[in-house]
Structure 1
Amino acid sequence: MEELCRGIMAGKAGEGGKSEPPSTQAPSQRMPSLSRDLDNGNNSPSSRSSTSSWSEEPVASNMDISTGHMVLSYMEDHLKNKDRLEQEWIALCAYEAEPCATTLALKPENNQKNRYPDAVPYDHNRVVLNAHANLNGSDYINASSITDHDPRNPAYIATQGPLESTAADFWQLVWEQGSVVIVMLTRLTENGHAFCHRYWPEEGSDLYHIYEVHLVSEHIWCDDYLVRSFYLKNVRTGETRTVTQFHFLSWPDSGTPASTKALLEFRRKVNKSYRGRSCPIIVHCSDGIGRTGTYCLIDMVLNRMAKGAKEIDIAATLEHIRDQRPHMVKSKAQFEFVLMAVAEEVHAILKALPQ
């Protein structure tokens, strides 16, 4: 780990060429059969950090330089000092959110909609569906609003990978939250286990209650991730919207990606598509807490730094996220990965700033 930490401090930011965004790609880029194999683990991505055709430098940042250097010092200390990292993680595990009731999620009629019984939303900030528009007349979905500073405007909706029985609920969630970006961090299956139902059509259109989903395009950018574009139509009102799904493939359940580079490139691509919008990003893995929490924590910390925050406390930021959904970031390895990813991105931003 010391060698890795020194590499973060001394390494150069990756460089790569840009290609055209998905909307201008030739139709030949669509390869549904290949992506189907990737989703189901039939063509495992390499363990190396892939060289994407869409590699990008960090975007222009208002990051405070002194804050950046302090964050790097904090990262270096925690990545080198295993005891300090362990103590930090033990303290995080002892943290208890308040309020923390999950009564509504565990009602019998709602519990059957949960993929895992220990990964459910708190009562106080669960996303409430419009029961009158719901297939089953229910307002429940396993999803939590995650805010940063403004409680009126969630930055993310953290949710589980849909079950077959909740696919229509998922699209209702997308529609009612006004979301146009979905971040998917799991394969459909891993080692023969189902982690998420395919909630979109393999080709053409499918109807999920009153929501018609049309697969417009599917672009495989590298071994690590692909991008899908959908037309989403509310057949009751006739309204339509375009939704983009960013699907990261090389993040194993309960683990971490092989490197930070691919995920940081993926995040930049997501944020470039999302830039200027005020609706929440929908983020899901299988349980909506491990990989989902890790991604949200990395993104929240880096967004705060990019806006010029003078103080960054990653452990306190995780507690803030855990106040809004239980067990976000499930393992010490995932927390350590957050530190590594933030350190790498901050280092790249500092190198790009005028000296």
Structure 2
Amino acid sequence: MVQACGGRSRAQLPAWSLGTAMTQPPPAKAPAKRHVRLQERRGSNVALVLDVRSLGAVEPICSVNTPREVTLHFLRTAGRPLTRWALQHQPPSPKQLEEEFLIPSNFVNPEELDIPGHASKDRYKTILPNPQSRVCLGRAQSQEDGDYINANYIRGYDGQEKTYIATQGPMPNTVSDFWEMVWQEDVSLIVMLTPLREGKEKCVHYWPTEEDTYGPFRVCVQEEKELPEYTVRQLTIQHQDECRPVKHILFSAWPDHQTPESAGPLLRLMAEVDESPEAAASTGPIVVHCSAGIGRTGCFIATRIGCQQLKARGEVDILGIVCQLRLDRGGMIQTTEQYQFLHHTLALYAAQLPGQPSP
């Protein structure tokens, strides 16, 4: 049986509006009416129910989208471009950003990830790679090890495919998987956005002090440079007779679930990445990771895409960027504070661009 409907069904509302609708108290129950016949003439509950068998081939009165379809539609279509001038002089208020950040997270249900043994390779049980964009291993290791790694390909500026790989901080049993991914994807730049410990382990020490072997890969440190805000290491990774350079940048001054004290260090990290010949010359993606691979990792990637939009177009669609990231990996950018910091950082970058923007 189908209930007749008019206007938009609740399932067709934007996902961010459902929470408000669900939290409103139910309407007060109306007192019972004595004039039953009058109620029936106006339309009782029974009168609003249709027998599906009587409809035959008639087109349905309205279509109802599933919550999943509503989520994907929102993430594919939502956006709010801000000009360079508006970002600096008329930015959204903290309250507006708090409301705007109610974006569907698009997390993967653990029950839906049908990959045997994946749980032993996940740092956090609820933070899993979206199946359609996950990185699959399979070049250097045996089939017994499987193809699983908690990592996703992430689109970059203008939707360019596989510009980044967002991944979790390696665990003791996934270090060789991590280096296989670096080799398989021809990665020449790794950006690490977490210290090894923040009260508890956030990432294992997956690179050598001098040189070490991880599975079939030999990794050597060629040069190490300590800068005030981050550390740069020049590494080489060797498999059989082939050897490749890899640049490793460790930016550890970013507290978990929080934001840096100022945007300046992050923008200087962006400049380090943009000026790296490894990033310019490589055809492989940039690997970015923190601990879970969604919070600080999402902020870094969103900031870089936003800077590229501002430089090329004179405007930036921060909401659209975050939605694109969450299509590729669920939960990218974890907190409202990180979303607000993203706006602040891009406003600072916009102010540093040459020329005066017009309103």
TM-score normalised by length of structure 1: 0.72
Q: Structure 1 residues 197, 106: closer, same or farther in 2, change over 3 A?
A: farther
SS at match of 2:132: coil
Gaps of 5+ in 1: 1-67
Q: Does 1:176 align with 2:171?
A: no
CA displacement, residues 32-88 of structure 1 (integer Å, 9 cap, x when unaligned): xxxxxxxxxxxxxxxxxxxxxxxxxxxxxxxxxxxx982341454345x22212221
Amino acid at match of 1:282: V
- Identify which of 260, 271, 286 aligns with 1:281: 286
Q: CA deviation at 1:286?
A: 0.4
Q: Structure 1 residues 241, 335: closer, same or farther in 2, change over 3 A?
A: same
Following the alignment from structure 2 to structure 1, what is the Cα–Cα distance between the partners of residues 117 and 306? 37
Amino acid at match of 2:253: S
Following the alignment from structure 1 to structure 2, what is the Cα–Cα distance between the partners of residues 218 and 242? 13
- Identify which of 325, 341, 350 aligns with 1:321: 325
> Which residue is equivalent to 1:346?
350
Q: CA deviation at 1:262?
A: 0.7
Q: Structure 1 residues 241, 341: closer, same or farther in 2, change over 3 A?
A: same
> Which residue is equivalent to 1:335?
339
> Which residue is equivalent to 2:167?
159
> Which residue is equivalent to 1:208?
214
8 Å Cα contact 2:110/2:126 also seen in 1? no
8 Å Cα contact 1:162/1:197 also seen in 2? yes
Higher alpha-carbon Rg: 2
- Identify which of 201, 215, 220 aligns with 1:194: 201
Q: Structure 1 residues 338, 72: closer, same or farther in 2, change over 3 A?
A: farther
Following the alignment from structure 1 to structure 2, what is the Cα–Cα distance between the partners of residues 259 and 152? 29
What are the within-5 Å matches in structure 2 for residues 34-49 of structure 1? none
Following the alignment from structure 1 to structure 2, what is the Cα–Cα distance between the partners of residues 278 and 132? 20
Give the aligned length: 275
Q: Does 1:233 align with 2:246?
A: no
Indicate the RMSD between aligned Cα atoms, in angstroms.
2.5
Amino acid at match of 2:225: H
CA displacement, residues 168-223 of structure 1 (integer Å, 9 cap, x when unaligned): 000000000001000000001123x11000001122x110011000111111011x
TM-score normalised by length of structure 2: 0.71
Q: Does 1:302 align with 2:290?
A: no
> Which residue is equivalent to 1:89?
101
> Which residue is equivalent to 1:65?
none
Q: Does 1:70 align with 2:83?
A: yes
> Which residue is equivalent to 1:43?
none
8 Å Cα contact 1:131/1:137 also seen in 2? no
Following the alignment from structure 1 to structure 2, what is the Cα–Cα distance between the partners of residues 103 and 148? 29
Q: CA deviation at 1:225?
A: 0.5
8 Å Cα contact 1:134/1:172 also seen in 2? no
8 Å Cα contact 1:227/1:245 also seen in 2? yes
Q: Structure 1 residues 72, 185: closer, same or farther in 2, change over 3 A?
A: farther
Following the alignment from structure 1 to structure 2, what is the Cα–Cα distance between the partners of residues 345 and 310? 11
Following the alignment from structure 1 to structure 2, what is the Cα–Cα distance between the partners of residues 73 and 319? 21
CA displacement, residues 298-337 of structure 1 (integer Å, 9 cap, x when unaligned): 011112333x236531101100110000100000000111
Q: Structure 1 residues 151, 336: closer, same or farther in 2, change over 3 A?
A: closer
Following the alignment from structure 1 to structure 2, what is the Cα–Cα distance between the partners of residues 247 and 230? 13
> Which residue is equivalent to 1:119?
127
8 Å Cα contact 1:161/1:197 also seen in 2? yes
Q: CA deviation at 1:137?
A: 2.4
Following the alignment from structure 1 to structure 2, what is the Cα–Cα distance between the partners of residues 101 and 118? 8
SS at match of 2:328: coil
Following the alignment from structure 1 to structure 2, what is the Cα–Cα distance between the partners of residues 165 and 352? 52
Q: CA deviation at 1:131?
A: 6.1
Q: CA deviation at 1:145?
A: 0.2
Q: CA deviation at 1:121?
A: 0.3
Q: Equivalent pairs: percent with the same residue?
A: 31
Amino acid at match of 1:215: V
Q: Structure 1 residues 103, 220: closer, same or farther in 2, change over 3 A?
A: same
> Which residue is equivalent to 1:148?
156
Amino acid at match of 2:258: G
Gaps of 5+ in 2: 1-80
SS at match of 1:275: helix
Amino acid at match of 1:161: G
Following the alignment from structure 1 to structure 2, what is the Cα–Cα distance between the partners of residues 228 and 140? 27
Amino acid at match of 1:185: L
SS at match of 1:294: helix
Q: Structure 1 residues 241, 104: closer, same or farther in 2, change over 3 A?
A: farther
8 Å Cα contact 1:184/1:248 also seen in 2? yes
Amino acid at match of 1:277: S
